[in-house]
Amino acid sequence: LRSGTPLRLDHLRRVDYQHAAGILLPTREFEAGSAPDELTIKTLMSAAHPDDDIEAADMPLVVAEIFDADRLETARRAYPGPAEFIGTPQIISRLLAQNTRHRGLSSVYNELLGGAGQQIYVRECPSLEGRRLADIAACFDQAVLLGVAHHGRLDALYANNEQTVAAADRLAFIAREFEDCTPTREPESNAAGRIHAASDTEVEARRRRVLVLGWNQKVPSLLAEFDAYTRERVEVDVFSLLAVDERETILRRKGVMLNHARVRHIEGDLTSHYEMTRLDVSGYDSIVLVASDWLGSADAADARMLLGYLVLSQVLENVETKPAVVVESMSTDNANLFDQANVERLVSPDLQASMLTQVALRRELHWVLEELFSAGGAEIEFRHIDRLGLADTSESFDTLRRARAAHGEVLLGTLHRSDESMPRLLLNPEDKQAPIALSARDELVVLAIG
Over range 32-37, report the average pLDDT: 63
pLDDT for res 375: 64
36 in Cβ contact with 6 (< 8 Å): no
**Residues 81, 11: Cα–Cα separation, whole Å:** 19
216 in Cβ contact with 254 (< 8 Å): no
Over range 214-224, report the average pLDDT: 92
219 in Cβ contact with 68 (< 8 Å): no
pLDDT for res 32: 46
The pTM of this model reads 0.86
pLDDT for res 192: 64
pLDDT for res 194: 62
Alpha carbons within 13 angstroms on the beta-carbon side of residue 33 total 0
No. of H helices and E strands in the chain? Answer: 14, 19
**Predicted confidence (pLDDT) at residue 306 exceeds the cutoff of 80:** yes
Per DSSP, 135 falls in state H
**Predicted confidence (pLDDT) at residue 235 exceeds the cutoff of 90:** yes
Who has greater pLDDT, 91 or 52? 91
For residue range 144-174, list pLDDT tens digits in order. Answer: 999 998 877 888 898 888 899 999 899 999 9
pLDDT for res 427: 96
Over range 118-133, report the average pLDDT: 93
Over range 70-99, report the average pLDDT: 90
354 in Cβ contact with 372 (< 8 Å): no
pLDDT for res 203: 47
Sign of CA dihedral 96, 98, 102, 107: negative
pLDDT for res 69: 79
The pairing of strands 343-347 and 324-329 is: parallel
Q: Locate the domains of the chain by residue range.
A: 9-86, 200-346, 376-448
From residue 95, give the alpha-carbon distance in Å to each of 345, 353, 383, 405: 11, 15, 18, 25
Over range 306-320, report the average pLDDT: 91
Over range 84-97, report the average pLDDT: 88
CB neighbours of residue 180 within 10 Å: 19
pLDDT for res 29: 64
How would you label 313-327 residue by residue, b for 16+ Cβ within 10 Å and e otherwise? Answer: eebbeeeeebbbbbb
Over range 28-57, report the average pLDDT: 77
For residue range 47-65, list pLDDT tens digits in order. Answer: 888 766 788 888 999 999 9
**Predicted confidence (pLDDT) at residue 365 exceeds the cutoff of 80:** yes
| Within this chain, domains 200-346 and 376-448 share the same CATH topology | no
CATH fold, domain 376-448, is Alpha-Beta Plaits (3.30.70)
Asked which of 27-31, 100-104, 118-122, 147-151 is least confident by mean pLDDT, the reply is: 27-31
Sign of CA dihedral 83, 88, 89, 93: positive
CATH fold, domain 200-346, is Rossmann fold (3.40.50)
